[in-house]
Amino acid sequence: MSGPRHDPSLFRDRDGIEVARALVSVSDKTGLVELAAALAAAGVEIVSTGSTASTIAAAGFPVTQVQDVTGFPESLDGRVKTLHPAVHAGLLADLRLESHEVQLAELGISPFQLVVVNLYPFVETVASGAPASEVIEQVDIGGPAMVRASAKNHANVAIVVSPSSYAEVIAAVGSGGTTLEQRRRLAAAAFAHTADYDRAVADYFRSTVVGGEAGTPTGAAWPDAWEVAGDLAQVLRYGENSHQDAALYRRADGAGIAQAVQLHGKEMSYNNFVDADAAVRAAYDFAEPAVAIIKHANPCGIAVAAPRAVDAIASAHRSAHDCDPVSAFGGVIAANRTVTLGMAETVKEIFTEVLVAPGFDDDALTLLKTKRNLRLLTLPEGYRREELEARHISGGTSCSPGTRSPWTGGVSPRRGPWRQGTPWTTRPSRTSSSPGRRAAR
């Protein structure tokens, strides 16, 4: 709502702001004691809630309970703590305006110059498989309200939503206050934080039966909106072509190739991630030990282990490679079981860009690390296919359910009237690099 009181000509300069009062309420207690120590040493009054206040007090630092500010006790099992004018007036007062300063004085409310808030662990609770009754309690209400209020009023308040920003804030408090540039940057991060949080909540409710205790996924209807968001995780070596830049964005709730841990080798490129994702999805289409080899997004070979193989994953790799040894040169390999020494010995003799698996035996990892440029990745625990898979198209996104192949569910491509272990392919000539038909049957 605009009005004469917010005419820019009435604003007073508020660049460097000294921190005299801070509101601190965090679920993630990482770095909290160190932050409280720095604020206390600088003479900052700390106002806090619940377990945050208890942690600060237990560390020996003075803290004011928020209920002593509001005159209203925390109630409804903690659902109502900070939703009070005595808190939000101190967050939203625009002290560039003399009229706001006068109103705060009349109301007996002191403003905040620093707010440190991170939200209830909603994403982590959903990922844990908790029932809907527990998940719903992790939908934060007061936290986002404080974050958004402070970010809106960044001309006067610095809002911090991540422990990774504590060092910067501690330095600012010790050097005379926060700058407008800092507060703008922190506000941008804060709005992104609440947007990601709300998106996660919305996605959860879209994918569940609202009103049912179990919160069963429906899968019955397309969502009215579908968005993918993530944090910048890595600037990649190059894009699809060597003259292009590229970056990897990672979702907090993901459990896929973007969350894989690189154990060895050169930095990943855009194409490495694309091929690794295709290879992992292909290998994980099967319940049996399986290996997929991908090159330029095309399958060079996919195979499951031979029956009664002593080293099942090594057997699957040999069969996958035999589908098309020529095209497999310089490919990306994914296994759906831990890589054994037997498999590693074969891979070591073949030029390979990336090898990704749920794990590596110690002797296999030691051997593979002798290949200086071979990238070795481990998948996160609980790897899963996306519920919706998407492709960007001009002006939008095309989505499809992330279903597995018809071979999933114990039906193996190897079972049929053909001889076991025979690759299902038209053998390419040694001069051919065409992928052809290469799923081992």
- The answer to whether 275 touches 355, Cβ cutoff 8 Å, is no
Distance CA 25, CA 82 (A): 10
Please, is 34 exposed, middle or buried when counting C-beta atoms within 10 Å of its C-beta (0-12, 13-18, 19+)?
middle
Please classify residue 410 by burial: count the beta carbons closer than 10 Å to its beta carbon, then call 0-12 exposed, 13-18 middle and 19+ buried. Answer: exposed
Which residue, chain included where needed, has tokens 């925390």?
Answer: 74
- DSSP assignment, residue 288? S
Task: Tell me whether residue 81 is one of the annotated catalytic residues.
Answer: no
Active-site residue 296, yes or no?
Answer: yes
CA–CA distance, 97 with 90 (Å, rounded to integer): 14
Whole-angstrom distance, CA of residue 435 vs CA of residue 426: 10
Catalytic residue among 6, 84, 152, 266: 152
**Rounded distance, CA 75 to CA 56, Å?**
21
Tokens representing residue 91 in the block = 């967050």
Residue in 51, 50, 49, 43 with CA at minimum distance from that of residue 19: 43
DSSP class per residue in 331-352:
EEEEESSPBPHHHHHHHHTS-E
From the list 84, 266, 296, 348, the catalytic residue is: 296
Distance CA 365, CA 263 (A): 9
- 418: number of Cβ within 10 Å: 11
How far is it, in rounded angstroms, from Cα 113 to Cα 23?
8
Catalytic residues: 152, 296
